[in-house]
Structure 1
Amino acid sequence: MIAIDLSGKTALVSGSSEGIGLGIAIRLAEAGAKVIVNGRHQEKLDKAITEVKKAAPESEVVGFVGDLGNAEGCDALIKAHPSCDILVNNVGIFNPQSDFFDTDDACWQNFFDINVMSGVRLSRAYAKDMAKRGWGRVIFIASESAFNIPVEMVHYGFSKTAQVAIARGLAKSLAGSGVTVNSVLPGPTLSEGMKKLLEPTVKKTGRSYEDVAAEFTKTARSSSIIQRAASVEEVANMVLYAASPFASATTGASLRVEGGILNYL
């Protein structure tokens, strides 16, 4: 079996103190990369670093505490860690059950700043140097909601569509450079965020998170082929591939790990 080896590479995963971001950080560390983990709170970040080290005891893991939803936070991160080989733009927020007509300007702006501009700022800072070195990976964690816009959070879907567009455009801007840029499209994923949403039902019914998440997926995303939520590890596996040397001919793509929800080839 040929293993993915990222030894000698430095990976930066934004918003990686929990959930999908943490799962990605663990997978990259297991493959040998030095990993920069990011979160807004020191205590949660310390816990995340411990989890990464537990999964990959030989790995080098460093943390950066900062809010990447504004230019100042991004600038501070770039100053502290001026170079990386693999950039995973994962930081993001979502807010279900927000009617379009009740979503004010501040909400739209907040989603744009965190979900979109964080990736723009970090990619602008790191990708040019990747191109100079002739190798690099930029990955945006978007969503199937980029194409399957959820009526209960149009503002979220918009931000994810923007990520897909930016990834495609940046890939074309870096044509022939040895740097690939892709977006990854998870569907419902059993992360900490989803568990918080499902917790009342789990407590009320006594059923497992997996069972309740499967029911949610069948109801809210009825076109799902796997008929369940993906695991954090399944999403992280796709990101690991995209970050690897094996993905050298994969660029400008929207890589689906959404269980077949989207009805296009």
Structure 2
Amino acid sequence: MKIELEGKTALITGSTGGIGLAIAKGLAGSGATVILNGRKQARVDAALEDLNKAVPNARARGIAADLGTADGCKQVTAAEPQVDILINNVGLFGPHDFYDIPDAEWQTFFDVNVMSGVRLSRAYTPGMVERGWGRVIFLSSESGLNIPADMIHYGFTKTAVLSISRGLAKRLAGTGVTVNSVLPGPTLSEGVEDMLREGQKDSGKSMEAFAADFVMSERPSSIIQRAATVEEVANMVVYTASTLSSATSGAALRVDGGVVDTIA
């Protein structure tokens, strides 16, 4: 099985690092033209440099815009009016007790994690329908099913993403445009490494070993008993973005290491 995306253009939101950048590398390695996005131009430029080192001769460009705002989404769609593959990856996370989360933070999480995908999907899917082919992928999370007690505001946004993805797949039924969600579990992205770094240094263990301990402490139902790599998550996204996934739409595709304890 060979994934071939020559002639396709993909926008990956929140792709200056972590899972987003890994997805961009995977898509570029499969021949797609990729558009990176982050809030700061310097971060976008650094990510483009990283991608070009990893995938020589990649066709890639970037745009700096804050997708947590309607204006930021308009900025992206004005600069890039047509894409074949939309990866709604940008997101915020972090532990915060329910009683200490102010209204403004709930709104920020909703705007970034949910509305960015809504706005971009609304802008790009009509063109996909007109051309008879397209892929929209929302990055949800196992936390959308296993709502963390210390990240309720995050979990609710990832549950919302599942609803939007499923509903939009139905809305676009029969058009050649598929819509799916991918649900990572604990993943060793830069953000997670930053969250674990202090404890990891005190433990004297490698980041991978400390992250495995963290997974078994916080997600004891994990079957792989470790954190996933960003590349492992990206592999699922790249497949779902390809022509090979044409019979998959409206799905919630789990790359959670078996954390969610259900067979359905």
Give the counterpart of 1:132 among 130, 136, 152: 130
| Percent identity for Structure 1 against Structure 2 | 59
Q: Which 10-residue stretch deviates more, 48-57 or 229-238? A: 48-57
1:204 aligned to which of 198, 202, 223: 202
| Equivalent position SS for 1:3 | coil
Question: How many angstroms apart in 1 are the aligned matches of 2:110 and 2:199?
Answer: 31
> Which residue does 1:243 correspond to in 2?
241
Alpha-carbon distance between aligned partners in 1 of 2:243 and 2:33, rounded to the nearest angstrom? 16
Give, in whole Å, the separation in 2 of the partners of 1:102 and 1:117.
23
CA distance in 1 between partners of 2:243 and 2:53 (Å): 25
Secondary structure of the residue that 2:178 maps to in structure 1?
strand
Counterpart for residue 91 of structure 2: 92
Separation (CA, whole Å) in 1 of partners of 2:195 and 2:187? 12
The within-5 A match list for 1:1-265 is: 2-96=1-95, 98-265=96-263
1:142, 1:47 → 2: CA distance?
26
Secondary structure, counterpart of 1:17 in structure 2: coil
Give the Å deviation of 1:191.
0.5
Distance 1:200 1:100 in 2: 24
Letter in 2 for 1:215: D
Take 1:45 and 1:202, find their aligned partners in 2: how far apart are those partners?
Answer: 28
**Normalised TM-score (structure 2):** 0.98
Match of 1:139, SS state, is strand
Deviations 1:86-113 (A, max 9, x none): 00000000121x1112112111101100
For residues 163 and 44 of structure 2, the distance between their equivalents in structure 1, rounded to whole angstroms, comes to 30
What's the secondary structure of 1:4's corresponding residue?
Answer: coil
Q: Count matched residues.
A: 263
How many angstroms apart in 2 are the aligned matches of 1:112 and 1:202? 31
**CA drift at 1:205:** 2.3
- Give the aligned CA root-mean-square deviation in angstroms: 0.7
Deviation at 1:38, TM superposition (A): 0.2
Letter in 1 for 2:62: G
| Structure 1 residue 55, shift from structure 2 partner | 1.6
Give the gaps of 5 or more residues in structure 2.
Answer: none
**Contact 2:239–2:245 (CA under 8 A) maintained in structure 1:** yes
1-side partners of 2:25 and 2:198: how far apart? 29
Q: C-alpha separation between the residues in 2 aligned to 1:41 and 1:205?
A: 34
For the residue of structure 1 that corresponds to 2:7, the secondary structure is coil
- For 1:234, what is the secondary structure of its paired residue? helix
2:80 maps to amino acid: H
Residue identity in the other structure for 1:203: K
Of 210-219 and 51-60, more deviation after overlay is shown by 51-60
Deviations 1:206-261 (A, max 9, x none): 21110010000001001000000000000000000100111000000000000001
8 Å Cα contact 2:181/2:253 also seen in 1: yes
Tell me which stretches of 4 or more aligned residues in structure 1 moved more than 6 Å: none
